[in-house]
Amino acid sequence: MIIDDLLRDAKMSQYKLSKESGVAQATISDICSRKTTMKKCAAGTLYRIAKTLNVTVDLLLEADEQAKENDKNQEYRSSFETFKSNTCHHVKDMGDIDFIIDTLEKNTIRNLYEKAWYPESLYLLGMVDYLSKINDLPICTNYNDIRKHKLATILYPSSVLIQAAVMHSDEVKIEAIKNAIPEFMRFNIVESEVRNLA
């Protein structure tokens, strides 16, 4: 439980907490946005917040510790476009074979899939399959269960979506599908270029 939950339970806004507790609005805002922690607050500040919210100071400190632990355990997930770009840069930097070996040894495809990060998992599997094909390597069979799946809707590059919106036409999308690499398209991911990086 964090202070936002306590405010919600008390049906109180940050502004109202500030007014009723006498604690500066900026301090309340910093606590709620996690810019500062309860441990860094003066004892008097904690007491006034706790009294206004009708909880103990210990509860505030425990809630703060719990929120801090949750923040540590939360993994950052970048946008899919950023993930694709990073993957292509890794391929360029490492080389095809080393990239395949690294991805398979770390079991990244399965790890992403188990986190339900399906676009990332399937994109990486498409990349490994594509690089294996163009380098005359056998396809790794460890992911045959994942190969049976595909995204529910086609995932286009943002550049294709923008162009289609500007032109008010799906012609761009149709053309993108025609030019898509089959190893990606089998998962409903439109990808046509993994080498030319900006």
Helix (H) or strand (E) holding 15: helix 14-21
Task: For residue range 24-72, list pLDDT tens digits in order.
Answer: 988 888 888 778 888 888 899 999 998 998 888 888 888 777 777 766 6
Please answer whether residues 129 and 139 qualify as being in contact, where contact means their C-beta atoms are separated by less than 8 angstroms. yes
Three-state SS at 150:
coil
- Mean pLDDT (the chain, rounded): 89
Per-residue pLDDT band for 2 (boundaries 50, 70, 90) equals low
> What pLDDT, on the 0 to 100 scale, is given for residue 36?
82
State pLDDT tens for residues 141-168: 999 999 999 999 999 999 999 999 999 9
> What residue segments make up the domains of the chain, in order of their start?
3-73, 80-185
Q: What is the CATH number of domain 3-73?
A: 1.10.260.40
Cβ distance 129 to 182 under 8 Å?
Answer: no
- Over the Cα atoms of the chain, what is R_g? 25
For 34-51, give one letter per residue: b (16+ CB within 10 A) or e: eeeebeebeeebbbbbbe
Using the 8-state DSSP alphabet, how is residue 140 labeled? P
- The reported pTM is 0.64
Q: What are phi and psi of 15, to 5 degrees?
A: -60, -45
Written as one string, the DSSP assignment of 115-129 is TT-HHHHHHHHHHHH
- Residue 83 CA: distances (Å) to CA of 9, 11, 29, 116, 142: 38, 40, 32, 15, 22
Q: Cα-flanking dihedrals φ and ψ of residue 167, to 5°?
A: -85, -5
